[in-house]
Structure formats: C-alpha cells, structure tokens
Chain A
C-alpha cells in the first residue's frame, strides 16, 4: 500500500462517515438523542470530579441541612440525612452507564457467537443445546432471573451485572440465530462455500458483517433496558450497597418521602428517564439511518 493509497482510503472513510451523519441527521430527534447520550457519557466520566460535594457520596451525615428543597446551595436539594442530591446523582450515573456498557460488551459477543453457531449448523446437537438453553432463559422474566442469581450470590454491584448478563444473552442469541439462518441461504454464502471457504471464514467474514447493522441498533436500544434492569435490582437492595449511591437505591430511598420531600425521588427518577430516552432516540436514529443505507 502506497502512501497515496492510504490517503485515498482515509478520504473514502471520511466521506462515508460524512454521508452517514447526513443520513442520520435527517431526523432531528435522533440528533437530540445523540446529544443527550454524549452528555450522559460526559457525566459518567467526569461526574464525580465536578460534584460540588463529593464527600456526600460516602458515609456522611448532616442533619442540620437535611430535607432541604432545591436551593442555591444544594441545586437539587438534600435528602433526609443532609446529603446533596446533585452530587450523589453525579456519582450514580457512572455505575449505571458502566453496567449498560459492560453488560453489552459481555453479552453481545457471546450471544452473537452462540447464535451464529446455532443458525449455521441447524439440527446438530450443539445448535439444539444452545437454542434450547436460550429458550429457557428467555422464558423466565428478566427481573426474576436476575433476582434469583443475585440471591444466590452476594448482593454486590458486580454480581448484579452478572445477573443482568445471564438474563440478556438469549435475546442476542436468538436474533443472530434468526439472521444467520436466513443468510445461510444467500448466494454469496453459497459461493464462498462452493469455493472451499472454511466454516470459520464463512461465519466471521461472510455472515457476521451482515449481522452487525441490526445488531448495532439493538445494542443501542438495549443499553437503557439494561440500565433499567440494574436500577430495578438496586431498588430492591441488590447491587450497590449504601452509602454508595446508585440510581435505583436513590429512588428507593426517596419513595418513602413523597409528596413532601418530592425532590429526593424526582431527581434520580428524572435522570433515569433522560438516560433511557436519550439512548432510545439514538437507537431509533441509528436504525433509520441503516435502513436508508440499504434501500
């Protein structure tokens, strides 16, 4: 590859990114989603650093400032033991987003590989095993499954992520299974098979690239689902243990005090809504953009 070739391929990549963004921005709502997600990501990374009262996220008690509605000193108010809601929120976003990303990072590769194997080798024992296992996990409601797993293991943050992963992989497995089953019969796959390509090559070079687009959309749309699931777990006390704040346990603390100290529950609940909505809008935008590309 000459230097000119590299310049050309970089130019081509840039052009296709620009085109991609153009398609994406056709729908202004998707751009809103992108902006929100970008903000959420920034908060996840920098939140703890910019929190006005970082010590409130650890063991801290100040009954003097307790139960204060949103004011100049505490922008979102304080909770019943005097901790600043805003600071705690900024700390809580990180584990939420982290759960979303880490769970997807584990579940997607595993689910994809298992789904591809299941779809490309139908009728074999391994395919049957994988797909029936997926059926079992799918038929149990995700929250119940996650609760069961957490009940068995210690209720820690890591274990709640493991629980959510176990509940989520079958959805990817089945999606990829379906796509692989139909792709298997496409002429370009046949051409590769007849030319003598190995099974691994066919799975990873011919089938996988065609699976990525719908997968990408699903991944983006699932991140809020995962966040919700993990918030639900920490709402019932499995996940981050107090005093460490998480969106779920902040909501569960605050529920007891509505409607008088409404701000204690509204702040984390609103945060959940914003994060979920942002990812959903982004995911919808991605799906529309990829659909336009195919037409």
Chain B
C-alpha cells in the first residue's frame, strides 16, 4: 500500500495540470477534455472511474502523446518524473519515456500480433526500452524473468508460442509482462481483465497489486467497475465529460460518495445482497460540440442549482484527501 501516502510525500510521479484537448471535426470542435487535474504518486494504485465517452482514453492518449491527428494542440501541463511532456516537440526523447510509462490494453488478444511468437514480441518491447544494441541472450533472460514475475509457469514454452495458443488470462499476463519488462515508473492498465472471466480477472488484478508492491511501480487502473476500484486501488478519481468530478481514497469514495454523479454510479451497481436495481442516471452524456455551460453534469443533476449552469466548480477539498467539483460543497472560484 502507498508508503508514499503514509509519509505524506507530495512529489508526484505524474502530475496532470489543467489539461484541455479539442478535436477538429466538420461541425466545429469537440471539446473533449476540459481542465483535467490528475496526479499519481510513486508506488500508488490510482483508479480512474468513468463511463464510455467521459474522455479517459483521450486523457491517457494525451499523457502518452499518441493523440489522433485532428487533435488541436493540448493546453495545460503534464509533468512526468519532473519533466513536462506536452510542451516538448512531437516525438520528444523516446527512450526514457518508453521505459518509464507503459500501457496495458483492455483486449489482450487485439494487443498481440497473431503472426509473431510471444518471444519475438517481448524482445521488441524490451529492445525498445533498453536500446537496440542489447544481445539476444540478455534480452531472452529479461523476458524469462519477467514472465516468471507475472506468475506464468514454463516461460520458455510461452516465449516460443503464438498468442492463439494461449488462454485469455495468459495473454493478459503476457501484455502486462511486456509493459513491465524493464523497471519503470508508471503502468497504465486500461480495463484489465474486463474481457476475461471474473475468476481470471481476479487473478490479474492481484498480480498487478503484487507488481506494485514488489517493484514500486505506480498503476493507473482505468475501470468502470466501482467494485474493482474499491478493492484494487488506493485512491480513485471519478471522471465525467472531460473533467474530474471527485477524488478520494477508494474505500471512502465508495462508502461515502459526494458528487451526485458518483452517487448515481454507486447506487446503480446491483448488490449481491439484493434490494432491486436503481433507476440509473437520467439523460445522456453531453454533446462535446456544444457542451453544457458551467458544470457539465448540470442537465442530469438532481440537485441542480442556478449557479451550476453559470460557472464551473473547481476541485475543492472537502475532507482530507477527498476532493469534489460541485457547488453543493462550496467549490466556487474562490475554492
């Protein structure tokens, strides 16, 4: 668990400050990200909860510098290990970035090239991180060690296998292995295990927990499951329509959600103890061409106040470590 938090360190591994991103389309601009504030400390597991269309993938792509060509230049700053990423020219220094930040995608089958063996794909990932000059023996050894590190038995056989010969859970482990092959600072896991069965997903999430503890890697865990967030992350953000609406330690977030959107989400999860199904949240996600003024959630909010459509609430610290962007809790421009 985050020693970093216990020690109260404020040095962030990743610090996203007020990032906004727009995309140019026929009808105008899609203002997808709208002043996102987000940070990750070393050795921390941060959950990012958001539904389809909230912009979480765009945010990750912005951090990883892999936005689509029709994206206008992002505003704001992204600090990673102290250096600012957005201001640097496109491409920037490649090797240090790749070693330090890696992403594991949702669908392990799609992330692996079916016509190459696992071994050759891992070799590519390792070489990209440590430099193409490394010799084959060294690369192989790193690959074997990493596969052992993700609890895969018989790593030699797996390195010689093709992806289709492995099960979904094994493929996901291989993807994680490729991402952590060289010790880095940050692992971004996009809905890991969502396409897998619950029992296998459980194993994968525990593996990520183990990696964090062993290697001190930080993890951004993107998920739409509040249950996963509660059990598998230290701290979590809730994202809606391009900005963060709430941030708290995970258990507290789920036990005592403050933002009306978070409340809507928590209530919508069917409980094992029964009690029926909540009505969900009325309305649809906003149109990014003409997003709602002020707080982007206001058209769907059961606690709407007039100020909500006029101003954007800032991220206001209600309790220790628990931030909400909502006028119900004060968060005005005077914070």
Smallest distance from the beta carbon of B157 to chain A beta carbons, Å? 33
How many of A's residues come within 8 Å of B, CB to CB?
3
Give every chain B residue within 8 A of A19 (Cβ-Cβ): 26
Q: Which of B23-48 contact A (CB under 8 A)?
A: 26
Complex-state Cα separation, A46 to B151, whole angstroms: 75
Q: Which of B281-311 contact A (CB under 8 A)?
A: none
Smallest distance from the beta carbon of A12 to chain B beta carbons, Å? 15
Complex-state Cα separation, A22 to B26, whole angstroms: 7
Give every chain B residue within 8 A of A23 (Cβ-Cβ): 26
User: Smallest CB-CB separation from A23: which chain B residue?
Assistant: B26
Smallest distance from the beta carbon of A294 to chain B beta carbons, Å? 15
Q: Mark A1-45, 1 if CB is under 8 A from B, else 0.
A: 000000000000000000100110000000000000000000000
Give every chain B residue within 8 A of A22 (Cβ-Cβ): 26
Smallest distance from the beta carbon of B146 to chain A beta carbons, Å? 35
Q: Mark B1-43, 1 if CB is under 8 A from A, else 0.
A: 0000000000000000000000000100000000000000000
Q: Mark A221-252, 1 if CB is under 8 A from B, else 0.
A: 00000000000000000000000000000000
Give every chain A residue within 8 A of B26 (Cβ-Cβ): 19, 22-23
Complex-state Cα separation, A22 to B25, whole angstroms: 10
Complex-state Cα separation, A23 to B26, whole angstroms: 8
Smallest distance from the beta carbon of A18 to chain B beta carbons, Å? 9
Complex-state Cα separation, A167 to B26, whole angstroms: 42
Complex-state Cα separation, A290 to B208, whole angstroms: 41
User: Smallest CB-CB separation from B27: which chain A residue?
Assistant: A19
User: Smallest CB-CB separation from B70: which chain A residue?
Assistant: A26
Smallest distance from the beta carbon of A119 to chain B beta carbons, Å? 25
Q: Which of A82-113 contact B (CB under 8 A)?
A: none
Complex-state Cα separation, A22 to B24, whole angstroms: 13
Complex-state Cα separation, A90 to B26, whole angstroms: 40
User: Smallest CB-CB separation from B25: which chain A residue?
Assistant: A22
User: Smallest CB-CB separation from B26: which chain A residue?
Assistant: A22
Complex-state Cα separation, A142 to B26, whole angstroms: 43
Smallest distance from the beta carbon of A16 to chain B beta carbons, Å? 11
Smallest distance from the beta carbon of A285 to chain B beta carbons, Å? 16
Complex-state Cα separation, A163 to B13, whole angstroms: 70
Smallest distance from the beta carbon of B67 to chain A beta carbons, Å? 15
User: Smallest CB-CB separation from A19: which chain B residue?
Assistant: B26
Smallest distance from the beta carbon of B219 to chain A beta carbons, Å? 30
Complex-state Cα separation, A250 to B26, whole angstroms: 46
Complex-state Cα separation, A51 to B262, whole angstroms: 75
Complex-state Cα separation, A113 to B109, whole angstroms: 36
Complex-state Cα separation, A23 to B25, whole angstroms: 10
Complex-state Cα separation, A290 to B72, whole angstroms: 24
Complex-state Cα separation, A19 to B26, whole angstroms: 7
Complex-state Cα separation, A77 to B292, whole angstroms: 68
Smallest distance from the beta carbon of A289 to chain B beta carbons, Å? 12
Complex-state Cα separation, A195 to B26, whole angstroms: 39
Smallest distance from the beta carbon of B61 to chain A beta carbons, Å? 16
In the A-B complex, list the 3 residue pairs whose CB atoms are closest, starting with the nearest: A22-B26, A19-B26, A23-B26
In the assembled complex, 3 residue pairs joining A and B whose CB atoms fall closer than 8 Å, in A order, are A19-B26, A22-B26, A23-B26
